[in-house]
Amino acid sequence: FEIQYRGLKKILNRVFVKCVDLLSAETQIITDRLNVDNILDKKVEFIPNGFFQEKNTEIFNKRNLFITVGRIGDKNKNNILFLNALKRIDLKDWKVEFIGPIETEFKTTIKQFYEDNSELKEKVYFTGNISDRVTLEKKYADARVFVLTSNSEGFPLVFLEAISNGCYLVSTELIAAKEISNNQEYGSLFRFDDTTGLAKVLEEIIDNKIIMPPPEKITKFANDKYYWPKIVEKIINRLN
């Protein structure tokens, strides 16, 4: 049955593909793989996801602030890894904000974290959910660094929100992270579930051993590659 199903699925895929004017993938790595192996019997175009802002900030007044945004405590987000890394380093004059709705069961973990590390109460904050986009954009604009510890992701829109506001990326070795950081020109990657690796990156940022590019340069990269009007223009050109 499995063999028959795979054969039927392949036939349906080919029929479907013939009816499509434009096939795309969100990362260059996946696009290249699909084209080299000719998996879909049709050329696949690289069309990334994008962002749109009415007004881009051109001059930033960044603070020594790490932020992460998402469902705090969600198993896949692996926020516990971030907390464990923070235990190992001296934040000095840096602060950390976890932004997003907090899973109920994770509140016990947060309570224990503060009990074990009382000196971090004035440095590590759990902001909760921010539904107002302007307020959230301000958080990104203030932060120097955006941190993502996820075990898996597709194409996280939080990356685009971060780099469009000039944030340096620190992330697990996700395919999207490699591309959105421009092969670590605008970010640093560490292995999955690697507390020591994350702590090392954070420490090197704090101690200025990692020289981060100016936020204006990061924003320019974001605008050049991931700004929706430019992406839509590319789609129109491909269809004409």
How do residues 65-89 score in pLDDT, each as one tens digit? 999 999 999 999 999 999 999 999 9
pTM: 0.90
Q: At what angle do helices 215-226 and 228-239 cross, to 10 degrees?
A: 30
Per-residue pLDDT at 108 exceeds 90:
yes
Q: What is the radius of gyration, based on Cα positions, of the chain?
A: 20
pLDDT at 58: 66
Give the pair of three-digit tokens for residue 208: 């200025």
Tokens coding 122: 């004035």
The pLDDT value recorded for residue 82 is 98
Q: Reply yes or no on whether the pLDDT at 172 is more than 80.
A: yes
Whether residue 8 has pLDDT greater than 80: no
Measured over the CA atoms of residue 74, residue 80, residue 85 and residue 87, the dihedral's sign is positive
Asked if 217 and 182 count as a contact pair (C-beta separation under 8 A), the reply is no
The overall average pLDDT reported for the chain is: 92
